[in-house]
């Protein structure tokens, strides 16, 4: 009897402990489950009561509804409808049947077919293309039912702005992706031909091969640019060729598109605005004064009688904005100027250190012709590919510098005068560049150049970018 009585308290304690080990966790779990369920119910109720996300979804779907009917899928074919492997996108520019796309999408085409959102496939002809800006205009004869895209002409873009990219990534037609403007004034050097435009819009919207030529639009469904290139793990400087997106894409701004397309439709090679200044090798200048701090582009000199001088700009002024658009680097300034029309009046803001003041001037733009632009592009390519620098001389365009020892193996020597390019006589360094472009040098064609040495000896060399 004593043994039973002595064991009873210990048994009770053990029973209570075991029960506690089981009941307490169960109670805690039930409380946790109840709290989780309460949070879920509250979240569901909040989502049901608040239509913010519904309205956001509706806004995004409205963008798609507004834009997709103005987007086209493009396929480039060869003889007998052979598919050349080139495809991309475009967008309807006007009700006359003009369609805008990238020049690289339709280059070397013999037959172009355009598919509308309703499934119709119709032939298109190439009106004209400008490889320097990578813009081409097509036209279709069938205009019934086409809906031109709305354009946000004159609207300034801002970093962080929501954007939507349309196109045919990897052949998935009429696709849409969303992102933000992650940068402005970008210069993806390998995305365009030498001497071509810069000042690209950078976005993080998903853009892949096949998106080229498709529109980039704002939250109102208005075109603000055109997809042209992506950064890949293999090429972070931008490519319009193969490769998967690394999350960075580039687009041509609408200001450039509007002006170039207008000239291409009119059958002209695009000219552009001309400011009449020379720029130093330094790309960016920090400005610091009593009333302004920022960055801009230093003016090395102004052309006598040119647009800038007539408006009151001087050497050593620092240009910080043109028509409200920042110009933090040389490529951006050049592209902003190139997007202006000859004869157009623009507002130039500049910093003048001697006066410690931010000033402004109204400049009437001069004209930079298509041949002058080609001259610049050709000279840039000659320097980049072959290391040959040419300058003007009283005797003619002269080889002033050889940047590579291998260049001499091609037959170039310092002091040689270039007499002919592609069978055509040249008298200036700009002529040399322009004739190189016309002869297909930038496309990899072989071009014959006639050189005259100081002793009068003539030499014929054949050059190519390949």
Evaluated on CA atoms 273, 134, 226, 252, the torsion sign reads negative
DSSP strand pairing (366-368 vs 272-274): antiparallel
Please provide the DSSP assignment of 212-242 as one string.
TT-EEE-TTS-EEEEEEEEEESS-TT-BSSS
Residue 444: how many other CB atoms lie within 10 Å: 9
User: Catalytic residue positions?
Assistant: 104, 134, 212
326 CA to centre of own chain: 17
Phi and psi based region of residue 442 (left: phi greater than 0; alpha: psi -120 to 50; beta: remaining): alpha
- Residue 339 DSSP symbol: T
Task: Number of helices (H) and strands (E) in the chain: give both, helices first.
Answer: 8, 28
Please provide the DSSP assignment of 257-312 as one string.
HHHHHHHHHTT----EEE--EE--S---EEEE-SS-EEEEEE--EE-TTSHHHHHT
Q: What are the residues facing 72 on neighbouring strands? A: 90
| Among 117, 113, 102, residue whose Cα is nearest residue 68 | 117
Is the separation of the CB atoms in 225 and 201 below 8 Å? yes
């Amino acid at each position: 009897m004593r043994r039973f009585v002595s064991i009873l308290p210990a048994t009770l304690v053990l029973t209570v402990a075991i029960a506690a080990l089981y009941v307490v966790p169960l109670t805690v779990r039930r409380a946790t489950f109840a709290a989780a369920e309460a949070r879920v119910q509250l979240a569901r109720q909040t989502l049901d009561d608040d239509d913010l996300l519904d309205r956001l979804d509706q806004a995004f779907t409205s963008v798609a509804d507004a834009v997709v009917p103005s987007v086209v899928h493009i396929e480039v074919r060869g003889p007998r409808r052979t598919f050349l492997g080139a495809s991309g996108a475009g967008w309807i520019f006007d009700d006359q049947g003009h369609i805008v796309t990238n020049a690289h999408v339709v280059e070397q085409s013999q037959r172009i077919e355009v598919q509308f959102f309703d499934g119709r496939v119709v032939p298109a002809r190439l009106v004209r293309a400008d490889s320097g800006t990578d813009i081409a205009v097509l036209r279709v004869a069938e205009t019934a039912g086409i809906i031109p895209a709305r354009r946000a002409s004159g609207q300034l873009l801002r970093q962080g702005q929501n954007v939507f990219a349309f196109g045919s990534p990897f052949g998935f037609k009429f696709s849409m992706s969303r992102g933000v403007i992650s940068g402005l004034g970008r210069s993806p050097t390998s995305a365009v031909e030498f001497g071509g435009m810069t000042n690209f819009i950078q976005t993080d919207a998903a853009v892949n091969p096949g998106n080229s030529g498709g529109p980039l639009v704002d939250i109102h469904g208005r075109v603000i640019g055109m997809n042209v290139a992506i950064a890949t793990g293999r090429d972070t400087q931008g490519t319009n060729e193969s490769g998967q997106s690394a999350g960075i894409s580039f687009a041509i701004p609408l200001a450039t598109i509007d002006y170039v397309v207008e000239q291409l439709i009119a059958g002209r090679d695009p000219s552009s605005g001309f400011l009449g200044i020379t720029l130093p090798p330094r790309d960016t200048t920090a400005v610091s004064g009593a009333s302004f701090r920022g960055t801009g582009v230093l003016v090395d000199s102004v052309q006598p009688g040119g647009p800038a001088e007539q408006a009151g700009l001087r050497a050593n002024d620092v240009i910080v904005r043109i028509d409200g658009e920042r110009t933090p680097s040389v490529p951006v300034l050049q592209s902003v100027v190139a997007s202006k029309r000859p004869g157009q009046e623009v507002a130039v803001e500049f910093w003048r250190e001697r006066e410690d003041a931010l000033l402004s001037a109204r400049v009437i733009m001069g004209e930079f012709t298509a041949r002058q632009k080609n001259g610049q592009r050709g000279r840039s390519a000659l320097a980049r590919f072959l290391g040959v620098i040419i300058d003007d001389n009283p005797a003619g365009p002269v080889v002033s510098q050889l940047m590579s020892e291998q260049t001499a193996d091609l037959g170039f020597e310092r002091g040689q005068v270039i007499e002919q390019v592609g069978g055509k006589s040249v008298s200036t360094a700009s002529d040399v560049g322009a004739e190189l472009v016309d002869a297909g040098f930038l496309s990899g064609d072989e071009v014959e150049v006639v050189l005259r040495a100081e002793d009068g000896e003539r030499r014929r060399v054949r050059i190519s970018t390949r």
